[in-house]
Amino acid sequence: MAQKNINIGSSANKGDGDPLRTAFSKAEDNFTDLYARIVVVEGQVGIANQGGATIQQSIIGDVIGSDSTVIVNHATSTVTAQNIVGNLKGSVVADDSTVIIDGVSGTIPYSVLSGTPTIPTNNNTLTNGAGYITAETITLTTLKTEVAAATDFADFKTRIAAL
């Protein structure tokens, strides 16, 4: 369709231009034709989002930052960034495919740690010593003073039978 021009008349309020309804009808026809042509062009260039407001296509080549630095290098499949912002999801894997950080289970395998972990010999350095077994010396003299009564054995026998 050829473009429809609105006749605005020779001067204001003279009445020799298109009436308001006719002017809007021409504008609508022009936009309808324009949108129809956009859909045709989108189909010809292979854009899958025909008629939509957003065009999404694969990037072929590098992604260049506003300072002209290469952010994504298509030849080496690398992403170069100084500051990555946001939550990163996934695992960290070495060049030889060894999992260094397992993003699925949220663990770091012991086998990938370097150096030997040292457990302190003084248990008070572990959580203030609370809840840990401490060393105690039991002598033969102490054991000889302990007495087991017949009721202790009867109670023990009842508890075993209940199992």
What type of residue sits at position 147?
V
| 63-64 vs 70-73, strand pairing mode | antiparallel
Is 86 a domain residue?
A: no
Please check whether residue 21 lies inside any domain of the structure. yes
- Extract the residue ranges of the chain whose pLDDT is less than 70: 46-57, 116-117, 119-120, 122-135, 150
Q: How many domains does the chain have?
A: 1
Residue 141 lies in a domain: no
Exposure string of 114-123, with b = 16+ CB inside 10 Å and e = fewer, is eeeeeeeeeb
132-151 pLDDT tens trace = 666 677 788 877 777 777 67
Phi/psi-derived region of residue 30, left when phi > 0, alpha when psi is between -120 and 50, beta in every other case: alpha
**How far apart, in whole angstroms, are the C-alpha atoms of residue 62 and residue 70?**
7
Taking the C-alpha atoms of residue 115 and residue 145, their distance in angstroms, rounded to an integer, is 49
DSSP letter assigned to residue 87 = -
Residues contacting residue 133 through CB under 8 Å, at least 6 positions apart: 123
pTM of the predicted model as reported, rounded to 2 decimal places: 0.29
Residue 153 domain-assigned (yes or no): no
